[in-house]
């Protein structure tokens, strides 16, 4: 998997972002860019709702095809 990008000051959730999960998805938030909620960033490049019971293993419903498609994202 590619290293996290610095596009828009995106911030992985400390401690959780490095976990190895079967889904290939990791917790993601970007408060500086208007995202106060946590999402799952997955190997397929899509962003999904964070699963309240299991985190990102598996993630919940798809939210966007890319970070810029997440509602409320303000960095470009």
Q: How far, in Å, CA of 9 to CA of 12, rounded?
A: 10
Give whole-number Cα distances, 56 to 2, 16, 71, 72, 74, in Å. Answer: 18, 10, 19, 21, 23
Give residue 42's pLDDT band: very low, low, confident or very high (50, 70, 90).
Answer: very high
Q: Inform me whether the pLDDT recorded for 21 exceeds 50.
A: yes
Q: Inform me whether the pLDDT recorded for 7 exceeds 90.
A: no
Query: The whole model's pTM is what?
Result: 0.69
pLDDT in tens, 25-37: 999 999 999 999 9
> What is the arithmetic mean of pLDDT over 46-71?
92
């Amino acid at each position: 998997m590619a290293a996290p990008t610095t596009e828009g000051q995106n911030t992985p959730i400390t401690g959780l972002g490095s976990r190895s999960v079967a889904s290939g998805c990791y917790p993601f938030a970007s408060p500086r860019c208007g995202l106060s909620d946590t999402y799952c960033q997955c190997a397929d490049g899509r962003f999904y709702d964070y699963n309240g019971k299991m985190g990102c293993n598996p993630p919940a419903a798809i939210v966007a095809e890319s970070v810029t498609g997440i509602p409320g994202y303000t960095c470009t």
